[in-house]
Structure 1
Amino acid sequence: MEVKIGVQHAPREIVLESGDSAEDVERAVADALGGKAQLLSLTDEKGRKVLVPADRLAYVEIGETATRRVGFGPL
């Protein structure tokens, strides 16, 4: 699923493809904003880690899990 992270005072957002569920990403964001963690830590599908300071988060957009279609059928 696609996750977009807006960071304060940064001109561009961070976009990553995460293999985690929407609930796991939401829980990580809630922990960071609730003060349980000082960093929002997410891992993308290739195993790279993205760390954002919790006090710099502007927004987090969690996309739908998209299933990949295979074949020549209609969309």
Structure 2
Amino acid sequence: MEVKIGVQHAPREIVLESGQTAEEVERVVAEALAGKSQLLSLVDEHGRKLLVPADRLAYVEIGEPAPRKVGFGAL
């Protein structure tokens, strides 16, 4: 699952591939925004943990990763 996170006052977004489902990511984001947790905590597919302060979240985009195109096939 590809997750893009926009952080306030940061020029670039954070992009990670997570093994979690869309529902799990949405639940964790909702808990962080509701104040149940001060940090948004996600784990990428390599086991690395990403922590973002909940009060600095600008947006979170959850979606399937686009398949990589290989070769010179017709568009």
Provide the TM-score with structure 2 as the length reference: 0.85
Equivalent residue for 1:21? 21
Runs of 4+ aligned residues of structure 1 deviating over 4 Å after TM superposition are: none
Task: Name the CA distance, whole Å, in 1 between partners of 2:44 and 2:55.
Answer: 22
Q: Percent identity?
A: 82
Q: How many residues align?
A: 67
Provide the TM-score with structure 1 as the length reference: 0.85
Equivalent residue for 2:39? 39
Equivalent residue for 1:5? 5
2:13 is aligned with what amino acid?
E
Q: Give per-residue Cα distances to partners, 1:27-72, cap 9 Å, x unaligned.
A: 00000000000000000000000000000000000012678xxxxx
- RMSD of aligned residue pairs (Cα, Å): 1.4
- Structure 2: segments with no counterpart, 5+ residues: 68-75
